[in-house]
Amino acid sequence: MSDTQKDSRDKTEVGLSRLKEGLPHQAYAIVSDSEYPETWKLPHHTKAIAKAIRGKIGHYRTTDWEHLSAAVAALSRGGFEGKRVEATEQQILDAARHLMRHCQDNGKPVPDTLAVLVE
């Protein structure tokens, strides 16, 4: 590959949205660095989040409740399937607040796990 082709490819890749499991970083509760998908944790939106990002629908309509429940469990001390998400205490607190807002925005009860974390 010539240097010109490589430069062109690099510019194209920079313009592409990064995805993990078909989702942009906005679909995750913990994002250490939006440029590095390996730092994105706790997906809780459907692929319709892309429409919400473009302003075509409200983000509250893209919440994936099954994944949100798993994310809530992963934040708890007991973890999801016995494993707590690897994150700083501040990231866990921020994620708990984020997920709690989704519940509130959708008129759903806030899980006790989240309420305890943000107290």
In sequence order, which residues have a C-beta less than 8 Å from that of residue 103 and are 6 or more positions away?
A: 68, 109, 110, 111, 114
What's the pLDDT at 6? 45
Q: 1-5, 56-60, 84-88, 107-111 — which is least confidently predicted?
A: 1-5
Q: Is the pLDDT of residue 2 over 90?
A: no
Note the pLDDT tens digit of each residue in 56-99: 998 889 999 999 999 999 999 999 999 999 999 999 999 999 99
Q: Is the pLDDT of residue 5 over 50?
A: no
Q: What is the pTM of this model?
A: 0.81
Which single residue is written with the structure tokens 């974390």?
117
Residue extents of the structural domains in the chain: 3-118
CA-CA-CA-CA torsion sign (99, 85, 22, 18): positive
Mean pLDDT score of the chain:
87
What's the pLDDT at 88? 96
Give the chain's count of helices (H) and strands (E): 5, 2
Which single residue is written with the structure tokens 């707590």?
84
